[in-house]
Structure 1
């Protein structure tokens, strides 16, 4: 059977900034035009107020690093893909501000932090260190006159070594109780891990300190930036200073309330949404929670929403789907949040998902979004497809290969003509694009390429995952931790999740 291949290549996506003109590289755009929110005039702030929490040594190192980012940092490696950093104020047209009243340090062996680090029990140590930072965040969150815009939590090497993650396994008694529940499953409507130990609190079996810390900060409505030695110190294994300055400064500016850049969109006002499923295993149960990894308006607003719990069945593995009612409710929540932020209903909604849509999901989403003129349910999936070209380099980034007018593969990474190189370590793998009622495949591909440059946690241009799906696991993990801290609905602004 003959195989038909159709190849086309899209130009690098254009981004909008504060000044006139559009650029494909965020760093060039910020240098030349400043951040996009400069278009808001007097509505934007001209200062980024920074809080700091940590041991005295790490806070001092972080302050030194912030001082360095205020000035010029020369280019790394002397190549175009690693440009010099002109200085924070020169890039963002805003001044970094720190203050002793926004700075909380833990000094000496008798401080709350150091006592917690000395605990031998892993779980107690994790909780103790988290509690020390949480108390400090609470103090900053209760400032009446002026709170910092964003808080840098300075994590020492000791904290990262002793508290980075904790893993807990079920005890013999808990496993025995879980097996008993399995046998009762046929006659009693209970979840597999439900009520293993009624009298004990529910614990996450796997916890990540960074995510737990961000969840605690969300309770106080404070965006958090993490600073470790790999950011604030020079080292053989660390990125160069200008690269670190670009990446950390973009994230800091966005978390403080700014909009660094916006995707240039030729077409109707659009809301892009990424849907993911997060598995939450606790001592008492196994839940599957749907979450919006990120919803993005074409105006630059980003937000995250937690969906409903999905009944887990160990026979289904990772092949999880929403019911029609859950999809409908999630669609309604997306529209409601969009209207609150933007002030109207989008003319187009594009949903990204890494697995196929079942019939219930299609009916539910389309029912909830019936008033939206254009609704596209897009599958963005991994694939084993490869494309080899003559020469030393792989296919160009932006290459779309359609096989037999049915299967479509998009290279979101690859050879970058603007840098005359392929910056990746491995053979680039395309993503397969499919979906329900795709109107314009070329537009879908261009959207994905553009969304791959909307990660405001970095100024890097080589990322290949659309931002709608990039933070899926992180969002789910932070929301799981947030549920341990409070029963309140988590804030939706994506500044808290980055």
Structure 2
């Protein structure tokens, strides 16, 4: 008699909002509340002051100084709009950097480079070959940053890179320069010819030297980050229009760009600055000891002639939010039939061995639980490599996290959509999780339309599904490059593209293991 296949009955559940821990062990769900009332988690004496540098044009640096002086004091929340009777709950006044982060904030930058010529930047950006244009523009910043960093005995903890609006407009892959404004450059070799040279190199290598420019991305931010990795220089890139939106207006008198209110900008840039200086703004509260989360990162370069050739890396995150990026081996990881990335057994083992080794160094022992998050599934060979890299004391679990393929919408009575943390379990090891939705603390939903869930599926190893869902929900709250209530995706997946883009934006050299703050 044939066995009947077990049918799972879908069920709804709601996960409580993960709490964050701040100074003196205080716990709240919203980062701005915790920093405003208690300050950052841990011993604040570990980071008594912020030492930052600033690089930009004279006008850009002047705008930064004015903004820096405002950061030292109280910045109130915006007045209610004409259609609102009350202040929106997500707005929290910024009490001043020292009050929020318990660290001194220097109004006058300790390290300053204001020698960048705006006219030179503008002309360089208008070079017809976009790879050459962006690389030479990045050269201006990198050469000065490296020179100054090497000259100083006490180098800054990180640098604010203040960019003119032209850099943002023309320093991105899809940016174009009007034909009548283009400037001739030195590179005559086309990208197609550079790609062909990989298969048929020349005898003397002259063309190869010119083709080198195509190994650098046409994205200013990504290329800058990538080229500074080997120099161990941390940066916070900020547009002049963010610091002084009123200085940039159209002929009609309206600002050329709409930005967030000053208090929100202060919270976001202040949190990023504190983290990049070496501080820890908050951490997840009540987390199981010995837990380690790993997000897999894959990226293909435009220059390679082999469609399967890709770069792989692993992002390791701990419960306290600390992150490290490990570069793995380059190889034929992209599968053209399934459109997914998969490592072979050896590469998978080597990558996770680096992760476990770093965790063991930090905690004097291996993790009790290691969760590997990926957008794709795991092959048998790949999982064999991951598992063999861990000892018997570590429970390894493979979790696939992706946008839901089902066009499923969930509604509830009232003005607002489904509550964040709602989950629809559709299998023993599979659920749809709404990480976006109505947030009681904010008394609103921050999105523009009905939120979509993410798919969370335990594909390998064993762990209670509800535990996995709670972990994923918590990992949406440790983005230290902003000060939001939450992101839609967990940090293990949220920054995968950003990290991957940096990894392929310039030739990689040096240490294959660096803290996460170098990449964001």
Select which of 201, 216, 223 maps to 2:227: 216
Distance 1:416 1:75 in 2: 20
Give the structure 2 partner of residue 343 of structure 1: 364
| Alignment of 1:422 onto 2:445 | yes
Residues 442 and 115 (structure 1), Cα distance of their counterparts in 2 relative to 1, 3 Å cut: same
What is the total number of aligned residue pairs between the two structures?
476
Task: Give the match for residue 457 of structure 1.
Answer: 481
CA apart distance, 1:64: 1.2
Q: 2: distance between equivalents of 1:328 and 1:403?
A: 32
Aligned mates of 1:301, 1:396 — CA distance in 2: 28
Q: Which of 20, 32, 40 in structure 2 is aligned with 1:27?
A: 32
Q: Are residues 1:296 and 2:326 paired?
A: no
CA displacement, residues 441-460 of structure 1 (integer Å, 9 cap, x when unaligned): 11111111110000001111
Alpha-carbon distance change, 372 to 158 in structure 1, aligned in 2, over 3 angstroms? same
| Matched residue, 1:129 | 137
Query: Which residue among 271, 282, 294 is the counterpart of 1:273?
Result: 294
SS at match of 2:396: strand
1:49-448 equivalences under 5 Å are: 49-76=51-78, 77=80, 78-97=87-106, 102-106=111-115, 113=121, 116-117=124-125, 119=127, 121-165=129-173, 171=190, 174=193, 194-198=198-202, 199=205, 200=208, 201-202=211-212, 203-204=214-215, 206-234=217-245, 235=255, 237-282=258-303, 285-286=306-307, 287-292=309-314, 294-311=315-332, 315-316=336-337, 318-383=339-404, 384=406, 385-403=408-426, 405=428, 407-435=430-458, 436-448=460-472
Structure 1: distance between partners of 2:448 and 2:234: 33
Gaps of 5+ in 1: 179-192
Q: Does the 8 Å contact 2:334/2:340 carry over to 1?
A: no
Structure 2 vs 1, CA of residues 453 and 301 (structure 1 numbering), >3 Å: closer, same or farther?
same
Please state whether the residue corresponding to 2:488 is helix, strand or coil. Answer: coil
The Cα RMSD (Å) is 2.7
- If the length of structure 2 is used for normalisation, what is the TM-score? 0.85
Determine the C-alpha separation between the residues in 2 that align with 1:36 and 1:213: 31
Q: Which runs of 5+ in 2 are unaligned?
A: 1-5, 81-86, 177-187, 246-254
The alpha carbon displacement at 1:145 in A equals: 2.1
Q: Which runs of 4+ in 1 moved over 6 A?
A: 166-170
TM-score normalised over the length of structure 1: 0.88
Question: For residue 248 of structure 2, what is the aligned residue in structure 1?
Answer: none
